[in-house]
């Protein structure tokens, strides 16, 4: 009888543990489900060349400030020339507000994009600022934008790639042909095709057998003439 009692007690303890683990796993799943990260980008409509202005991005989730975003980067593009864009990272925030003091040194139409990665999400709102005397005909036509998510790569292991594409209105751009042009340390080029995993998000994998610094150009296009590209770098360890 004593042995039977011990066995029954052990069974009850195991069952209780199982229920506790089940509840814990369920709690973890509930914690993992997140609301969208919101970014309120604030950019002056006009300014003068040589005048310092403040570019800000207010990052929140469910109304709560996010001060520990993985990355907040302001990309500044003059007259639609993406090849000469300026990228500035802001690491510190107060009450969810990431602020970049910036001085535009030439007249022109500038597109400001705030690339924000936080809570396993990415968003990239953009606005336009006119510097100096800019005629309407000189306003840049912004075709769209690509953001390359941070890349972690180890020699001999599959590296994950993810990009987000938006159109000139800042909306996600779906059903595109996307691929990466990867320049390896030895000067050779490797192409990596990406697949759309959800609207505007494209992913792929590739394995590299050389350590060192790599340059990647992300291309996104369709048959209607839409085409954007951007450059990024990563290191294979």
The CATH number given to whatever domain includes residue 126 is 2.60.40.730
Please identify, among 136, 167, 199, the residue that sits at the C-terminal boundary of a domain: 136
What is the Cα–Cα distance from 232 to 85, expressed in whole angstroms? Answer: 12
**Residue-number span of the structural domain to which 112 is assigned:** 37-136
Please tell me what DSSP assigns to residue 136. Answer: G
Q: Which of 136, 164, 195 is the last residue of a domain?
A: 136
> What pLDDT was estimated at residue 135?
59
**228 confidence band (pLDDT: 50, 70, 90):** confident
Q: How far, in Å, CA of 116 to CA of 168, rounded?
A: 18
Total domains in the chain come to: 2
95-134 per-position pLDDT tens digit:
999 999 999 999 888 889 899 999 888 888 888 899 988 6
| Distance, CA of 195 to CA of 172 (rounded, Å) | 15
**Does residue 4 form part of some domain?**
no
Question: Of the residues 109, 136, 163, which one is the last residue of a structural domain?
Answer: 136
Q: For all residues of the chain together, what is the average pLDDT?
A: 83
pTM over 0.75: no
Question: Based on the domain organization, do 111 and 91 belong to the same domain?
Answer: yes
pLDDT at 186 over 50: yes
Residues 128 and 43 in one domain: yes
18 falls within a domain: no
In a domain, 219, yes or no: yes
């Amino acid at each position: 009888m004593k042995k039977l009692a011990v066995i029954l007690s052990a069974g009850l303890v195991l069952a209780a543990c199982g229920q506790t683990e089940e509840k814990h796993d369920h709690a973890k799943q509930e914690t993992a489900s997140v609301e969208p990260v919101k970014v309120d980008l604030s950019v002056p409509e006009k300014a003068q060349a040589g005048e310092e202005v403040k570019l800000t991005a207010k990052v929140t989730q469910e109304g709560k400030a996010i001060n520990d975003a993985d990355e907040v980067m302001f990309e500044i593009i003059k007259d639609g020339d993406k090849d000469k864009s300026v990228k500035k990272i802001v690491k510190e925030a107060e009450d969810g507000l990431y602020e970049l003091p910036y001085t535009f040194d030439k007249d022109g139409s500038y597109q400001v994009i705030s690339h924000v990665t936080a809570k396993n999400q990415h968003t990239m709102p953009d606005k336009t600022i006119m510097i100096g005397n800019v005629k309407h005909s000189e306003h840049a036509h912004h075709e769209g934008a690509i953001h390359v998510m941070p890349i972690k790569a180890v020699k001999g292991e599959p590296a994950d790639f993810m990009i987000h594409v938006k159109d000139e209105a800042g909306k996600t751009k779906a059903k595109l042909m996307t691929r990466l042009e990867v320049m390896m340390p030895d000067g050779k080029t490797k192409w990596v095709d990406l697949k759309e995993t959800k609207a505007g998000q494209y992913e792929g994998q590739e394995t590299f057998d050389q350590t060192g610094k790599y340059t990647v150009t992300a291309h996104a296009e369709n048959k209607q003439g839409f085409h954007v590209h951007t450059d990024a770098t990563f290191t294979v360890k």
